[in-house]
Structure 1
């Protein structure tokens, strides 16, 4: 048996650096923001941020101020944008730590401006337009008022318009006609802001898929998220050599002999077709293994696939090992890069009808992260 923990997510920082370099090459003259929200999509925000910056990223992106502050606490000094904060957020702390902030309406912009007055230095803001996603962002009818309020704040020294941005509505297919329509709208809203007097703001629209497959969306800054980690949300759009950074592994906690017809796990949704061996894996939905993976997803044991048998429980699931010689302590690979035939996250996505993002961000805190510079 190994000294490794019972379950671990092995994170290849070499893969992160490779992916960032590939994305930088696709971005042309645009700079790159590596999105490290949700603890780096479950990979660890601080190690990923450092690897991304070493490979050529110049910005970092987070959803919340707290996520951005954790980067600063780790000594990371690169520009950071935090974009998902509502009224009453801790603007003062964010501004004291030189964190850029997003604003989508006049009231929020004015609140940030008041915090900047109290802090004694202007707030760097990115004005977000809703060009068609229908989620966050300023409605186009209110865009002139937001731009005007930002320019007034710039004139009185409380605000600096550091960015103009929006979000594509199809995360995995930037050639979707709706995304192409958004691209034209983005050109219009940024052009309006520039004609009104906004100067020097970075324009950013491109997510992972657009960075890889829609070069005209690069503008001044690209904003890839899931591709930094070597993944597509589901099916690849290009043959880009993305390298998955995470593999999820555990060790068999028990192996036992059972007869034919043995019911397995809650509800006995699975029964053994013949006598054989069952293996217990100490990972469950509390650790990020989807409950829907029961009876659906294969994992890798001793060089062979074995389907999860029965329902995934909170802390564990079972494998029907059949005649395998696997023993307690042997390694189980839930997913990896697929280089040795093991299942990949793409295999999980196809069987579960989800996206890779949802699986990796749910890998829980009980799973030890181990970082390596191996590919």
Structure 2
């Protein structure tokens, strides 16, 4: 169920109701973040926002129509996501995890699609195929997908063997630190990438597109911008450098639910599984229509709280599959909205991550639209 409703500041918010969970996407915050990011780009750098994992839980169908006015293309993880983007935009798409061989025909009629090469075996297969737009991924230290930078000569040998120079449209790598916490290693990766790119272009006899920047690289220094930047989490209002260095980004997603019931329990009564909470006095308990099956971290019960009627109420008792309890007062009524996550101190994605031993990326993807 997708609908629009008015916010207090007279902007529209996109609302998705998923069982008891209500996910709200704020287009104005998204647009503000885009301007902050693009204002930092070096001249000529192309803006390819990452919308994999259903746009980090925000919903591809919600964010791409807004991003399309500003983007030069998109990065997705899978073919299925490329299809979802293509329904909304005609701009180029980079499929970061490449495709299986049986999917090559499937993408042939999808417009401008760039496939990222996974490893040497995948590279050879794609060179033998009818695929025309390849981006070689170089592993400069991340250790996931990509061809080891030490295997450059093997790349060149395969290009010569299959006469595949024309298929190569770009080269990319991926930083091993999303928060740039080890700048020496980041600089080392950048230097290796520049050297490999230069050698590859010399062999091809022409320039190709180069890309290395994640959110941290995009926000920090134009030396990392190259030809294409691939910002992800910062688009959605989360700084890779933490809440104390947020570049004035605005969280795009908020999550709320409703109060199912309010009850009074006596002193010595337990709340939730395993009786982890025992009331020290007579208390009022609000039961909320959300739980860990909705992506709420179960560990949040230890330190978490919610906002109801602009008041803060502590979570009590272990969070259940589709319900949770809060210690409330007599102002709370069944049907009231309870804000679980949003742009409010204490319930941001940073805060929920900190309280549960997670990272903001994990919180957005699990709490959002899946």
TM-score by length of 1: 0.88
Which residue number in structure 1 is paired with residue 66 of structure 2? 51
Q: Deviations over 1:206-263 (max 9, x none)?
A: 1001111132111111110000101124624735111100010111011111112221
1:145-224 → structure 2 map (5 Å cutoff) = 145-150=154-159, 153=162, 155=163, 160-173=167-180, 176-197=183-204, 199-224=206-231
Match of 1:132, SS?
coil
The number of residue pairs the alignment matches comes to 352
User: Which range moves more in the overlay, 25-34 or 225-234?
Assistant: 225-234
Tell me, yes or no, if the aligned pair for 1:260 and 1:273 is still in contact at 8 Å: yes
Which residue number in structure 1 is paired with residue 147 of structure 2? 138
- Unpaired runs of 5+ residues, structure 2, are 6-14
Q: Deviations over 1:302-331 (max 9, x none)?
A: 21211211111111111111x342010111
Q: Deviations over 1:20-68 (max 9, x none)?
A: 12111111121111000000000011321221121x2211001111111
What is the alpha-carbon root mean square deviation over aligned residues? 2.2
Q: Does 1:83 align with 2:96?
A: yes
Which residue number in structure 1 is paired with residue 265 of structure 2? 258
Change (3 A) 1:156 1:37: closer
Q: Does 1:39 align with 2:54?
A: yes
**2: CA distance between counterparts of 1:150 and 1:296?**
56
Tell me, yes or no, if the aligned pair for 2:216 and 2:241 is still in contact at 8 Å: no
Tell me, yes or no, if the aligned pair for 2:58 and 2:369 is still in contact at 8 Å: no
Q: Does 1:7 align with 2:21?
A: yes
Which residue number in structure 2 is paired with residue 373 of structure 1? none
**2: CA distance between counterparts of 1:214 and 1:69?**
33
Tell me, yes or no, if the aligned pair for 2:79 and 2:95 is still in contact at 8 Å: yes
1:1-375 → structure 2 map (5 Å cutoff) = 6-29=20-43, 30-54=45-69, 56-72=70-86, 74-85=87-98, 87-98=100-111, 99-116=113-130, 122-150=131-159, 153=162, 155=163, 160-173=167-180, 176-197=183-204, 199-233=206-240, 235-236=242-243, 238-321=245-328, 323-338=329-344, 343-363=347-367
- Unpaired runs of 5+ residues, structure 1, are 117-121, 367-375
Tell me, yes or no, if the aligned pair for 2:120 and 2:147 is still in contact at 8 Å: no
Displaced runs of 4+ in structure 1, greater than 3 A?
Answer: 3-6, 85-89, 150-153, 236-239
Change (3 A) 1:92 1:115: farther
